[in-house]
Amino acid sequence: MKTLIVLAHPEPRSFNGALKDVAVETLRELGHQVQVSDLYAMNWKAELGIDDFMDNRADPDYFDLPREQEHAFANGSHTGDVKTEQSKVMWADLVIFQFPVWWFSMPAILKGWVDRVLSRGFAYSSGHKYGSGLLKGKKAMLCLTTGTANSLYTPAGIDGDLHHVLWPIHNGILAYTGFTVFPPFAAWMPAQLSDDERQQCLNAYADYLRRLETLEPLFFHPREDYDDNQQLKPGIKARSGVQWNPRAGQSFEQAASYFAEHSNDKV
């Protein structure tokens, strides 16, 4: 298996850096090939804008971003840094996103990588999203750190259930572009742990990666579960842990209970 690790942390000696090192070592021990995109070390440009399309514009008079992205991919005129990262994604069987949770999401530099690299035409296009996304057949997962305890990321916790927090990434980025998405690995508030506890967490991540290919991916409803308006059909009970279907007689609470009963590998 070929793995790309996209790292988004400004300090190489951080716990995120240590998790990245464990992943590289563990995956190579398993015989896998590994590449790392260290976004801060690369001085990655996060902003997606008109300067990404200065050559060979589809329309030099009006900036239509989706059109320009599709045109750039079709004509090989993406900027060099974007083309390099897209070639890494195409090379990879698995993409691991390594980052600290900042403001309930990924750091801006990583979101900028998503904006620029997983572009229209390359990762998705009209009629090619979710189950028909252009990256179908590839796998992805998140490895993240938090600044607070796991008890805060529960259905009753002040920060909310982690599956809900990560839904915009898991569903809106990864599943949308066709990835098969594995459950995330969360390192809970490593800054507050002892050296022994941090090592235990690193060991747990190594163990997680060793059994990754045996894990059940996260569930996303297939296209046939939706009607022509892309609403869950009557009778289809929502299983994602975030959706619920009133047309199946489901309340939010019933859907959450159904998810708890039927989900496999919990965070």
φ and ψ at residue 41, rounded to 5 degrees: -65, -30
Quote the Cα angle for 214-218-224, to 5°: 120
> Class of the 2-216 domain?
alpha beta
With b meaning 16 or more CB within 10 Å and e meaning fewer, what string describes 72-94?
Answer: bbeeebbeebbbebbebbeebeb
The torsion region of residue 121 among left (phi > 0), alpha (psi -120 to 50) and beta comes to: left
Which CA distances in Å does 26 have to 1, 136, 197?
A: 12, 25, 19
Domain ranges of the chain: 2-216, 219-267
Instruction: Return per-residue pLDDT of the chain as tens, 267 residues.
Output: 999 999 999 999 999 999 999 999 999 999 999 999 999 999 999 999 999 998 899 999 999 999 999 999 999 999 999 999 999 999 999 999 999 999 999 999 999 999 999 999 999 999 999 999 999 999 999 999 999 999 999 989 999 999 999 999 999 999 999 999 999 999 999 999 999 999 999 999 999 999 998 999 999 999 999 999 999 999 999 999 899 999 999 988 888 777 777 655 444
3-state secondary structure of 4: strand
